[in-house]
Chains A and B, each alone.
Chain A
Amino acid sequence: MLLGLWKYTKGYVMIHVSGFSPERFINLCANKGIYIWNLESVSRGYSLCMSVKGFKMIRPLVKKTGCRVKLVKKIGMPFNLFRFRKRKAFLVGIIICFALVFFMSLFIWKIDIQGNTRITDEQITKFLTTHAYCSGMWKKDVDCTGLKKALLKQFINFNWVSCEIKGTKLIIFVEEGEVPIEIEAYGKPCDIVSDKNGVIVSIVTRTGSPQVVKGDVVSKGDVLVSGTLEIKELEQLLDVEFTHSDADIYIKTIYDYEDTLNFKYIDKVYTEKTKKDHSLVLFGKEINLIKPSIKYENYDSIYVKEDVSLFDNFYLPISIIHNTFEEYMTIEKKYTVEEATNLIHSRLEREKKDIMNENAQIIDETIEITPMSDKIIAKGNIIIIKKVGTKQLFDVQERMNTYHEFFGEDNTDSQ
């Protein structure tokens, strides 16, 4: 097949040889190094194929052998092109086509973002657009290293970014990592404040002075560990220091739970009736030739955009949009009591799982499920043990003022 293509592009002729001894002519051709194929014996002679180059060489051989050679057919691209030489528009068309393909290849037509799991494509595309990276930009304007740096700067949890241009596609590959933990300002003094109401179950203080003990009832906003260290000797205040308090405090707290479920619900039933719409997008402009009229009352619209590429990586500013409309009917349904109970139980289980995921421990739960005429209610509370405490920085100067007497003396001493 490849050989056939080669022969076609180079052009070949089919000739008819007749006369006294065509065999001798063929032998001479072979000796001259002319490739001959499809040799057939026909009435009064042979018909054979040879390349154009060979055909130009056979004149002396014909004279020598006294054969008669008749050109039967010219086959191949050079002959076709020769035939088309007067069709100027055709030539112009070919040139324009190539020029257009070349011109198109100077732009970026598709930005492919890979490897992102937490940050959506939209977020990255939005960022890229603000930095003038969008489809349709000049390829030479792409600064891969600069883009890498900008992306790493913008999105903190990107560990590694690579940018690459393949054809008309800009591939951005990102490797996401953990968000770097904010370094706590251990140097700054702070208190630990409760963020929930409850009873203290255990308190382990590393730094700071604890304000509560096990069994104390605390409410939201209470100071659990103070950052003020009063150094006393026999009730006499010797020194006051301010530290960054640090403690593990667990409290028992009540988690209110309430959930209602109506027996009535609306279900989607697809009617299997669909309509399809296709439209073409050229340079970002949508052209929709056939717009089907949709008389469905309720429908889902499924939108699929397909980018057209000439080769694997040669994307063009053309895309096709397939829009499918699926009709559905809304039907009002009713749960039976049993179904509703199951459903509400599963919701409760899910809620409990969420609580457990937050490093809390469930120790007791009292939840009543009461079915009513039109709905079912789950109400009650879950008792959990949970770590509490948020650090609250305070102003040292302000705190100092409360020990006015102590510091006041100190100040006079220094003066």
Chain B
Amino acid sequence: MKRTKKVNEKKFHIAEMLEVPTDVALGDSIITLTGKREVLIENYSGILEYDDNVVKIKTKNGRIEMIGKHFKIAYLTNEEIKVTGQISTIKY
């Protein structure tokens, strides 16, 4: 775990030096929020849990947890996922 953290930090530094976007270099996910009704997550790896009030999404560098109401998944492909509903919390 420690080792991977170190590797990641090095990668981050290199990416910063070369001015390469981190989502490309490190596989970070991009989260686009539209108000509090819509969220689009790119670069995700899978759904961990989903129901009306909670969506947990696995990404390469950790998980994203969203809490809210009336969650629906508008669409999902193997690269991006769009969730609609009333978002109240986003946790990493």
Report A's interface with B, CB cutoff 8 A. 23, 26-27, 30-33, 35-41, 46, 48
Contact = CB atoms under 8 A, between A and B. Distances in A.
The secondary-structure label for the interface of chain B is strand
A26 B77 contact: no
Interface in B47-92: 47-52, 71-78
Contact of B73 (A27, A32, A33, A39): A39
A41 B72 CA distance: 7
Contact of B78 (A23, A33, A37, A40): A33
30 contacts: A23-B46, A26-B47, A26-B50, A26-B76, A27-B46, A27-B47, A30-B46, A30-B77, A31-B78, A32-B78, A33-B77, A35-B75, A35-B76, A35-B77, A36-B75, A36-B77, A37-B74, A37-B75, A37-B76, A38-B72, A38-B74, A39-B50, A40-B72, A40-B73, A41-B50, A41-B51, A41-B52, A41-B71, A46-B50, A48-B73
Contacts, number: 47
Contacts of B71: 41
Contacts of A27: 46-47
A23 B47 CA distance: 6
Nearest to A49: B75
A316 B78 CA distance: 51
A35 B81 CA distance: 10
B90 to A, nearest CB: 19
A35 B78 CA distance: 8
A170 B47 CA distance: 62
Interface in B6-34: none
Given A23-B49, A36-B76, A41-B71, 9 more contacts: A23-B48, A30-B46, A30-B77, A33-B78, A35-B75, A35-B76, A38-B72, A38-B74, A39-B72
A286 B77 CA distance: 60
Contacts of B52: 41
Nearest to B81: A30
Contacts of A35: 75-77
A23 B77 contact: no
B56 to A, nearest CB: 9
A41 B46 CA distance: 16
A399 to B, nearest CB: 103
A27 B58 CA distance: 10
